[in-house]
Amino acid sequence: MRNKSLKNRKIIITGASSGIGKEMAIIAASRGAVPILLARSLDKLQMIQRHIHHDYDIVPDIHSLDVSDSDAVRLVFNEMIEKHKDIDALINNAGFGVFDYFSEASPDDIKRMFEVNVIGLMVCTRMLVPYMLKRNRGHIINVASIAGKLATPKSTVYAASKHAVLGFTNGLRMELAKTNIHVTAVNPGPIRTNFFDIADPSGQYIANVSRYIVEPEQVAKRVVNVIGTNTREVNIPWTMNAGARLYQFFPRLVEKAAANLLNKK
C-alpha cells in the first residue's frame, strides 16, 4: 500500500541540489516530510530551502557534502543523527556519469564514478544502517539505473557502477529481510536533467533516445510514493525495463537485434 502522508517523516536525500533530488525534496515536503538535503552546492540547497519554507512552512536541514569524501560523510551523518534523532529514510541519489568508449575513458573519470556512485552510496548507507537496526525501522532507497541492468556502448563504466549499486542493494535487502527496514532500488532510464551536461556534452545521446526520456518530476513522484513501503524496485519507463528483462533471458538476441539502438551514444 502506498503512503498517504509523510507528515513529520525525516528523509535524507543526497544529490539534492538539482534534478530528481530537488524534485523529491519538494514533493516530500508537500506531503509533510522534513527533508534533510545533502549536496556539494550549498547555494543551490539554500534556494531550495527557501522555496520549501515559503511554500510549505517547513525548513529543510541542509548540509554541503561531497559523498566521495568518506571522512566528511561520517562527520555530517553523525551530526544529523545527533540533531534529528528520528531519521526515517535515506535516498541515495547522488551520482554522475561520463559516456566514453572504454578505450578512451579517463582513469580519473573511472575512479570518480565509482567513488561517488558506489563507495559514497555505501558509506552513507553504512552510517545509517546500525542506527536503523537499533530502532528496527527505516527505509534505504538507492537510485541505480536501467543501465545497471542493460549496459550499452560508451556507458560501460557508468553501467558497471550502477550494476554494483544493484548488487549492493539486493544483498542489503536480504541481510535486512527479518527486520522492519525496507530496501528499494530505483532504476530510471534517461531523465531530462543536467546529468547529460557532463555525461553527453554533444547532445547526441539525448537526441537519439528522446522518445524514452522521462521528466524528473515523474521519477521523483514514483520514488516519494514508495517511502515507507516494502517495494523492491521502481523501474521507469516501463519500455526500457521491458528491454532489460528481455536481455536477462536472451542476451545474445538482444545484443544482436538492438545493436543499432544500443550504440547511439
Class of domain 10-262: alpha beta
Q: What is the pLDDT of residue 171?
A: 98
Q: Where are the domains of the chain?
A: 10-262
Mean pLDDT of 109-133: 97
Confidence of residue 93 (pLDDT cuts 50, 70, 90): very high
Could you give the residue numbers annotated as active site?
Answer: 158
Calpha distance 113→161 (Å, rounded): 7
Q: What is the pLDDT of residue 3?
A: 43
Percent residues over pLDDT 70 in the chain? 82
Instruction: Round the average pLDDT of the chain to a whole number and report it.
Output: 88
Q: What is the pLDDT of residue 198?
A: 53
- 3-state SS string over 174-206? HHCCCCCEEEEEEEECCECCCHHHHHCCCCHHH
Calpha distance 151→102 (Å, rounded): 12
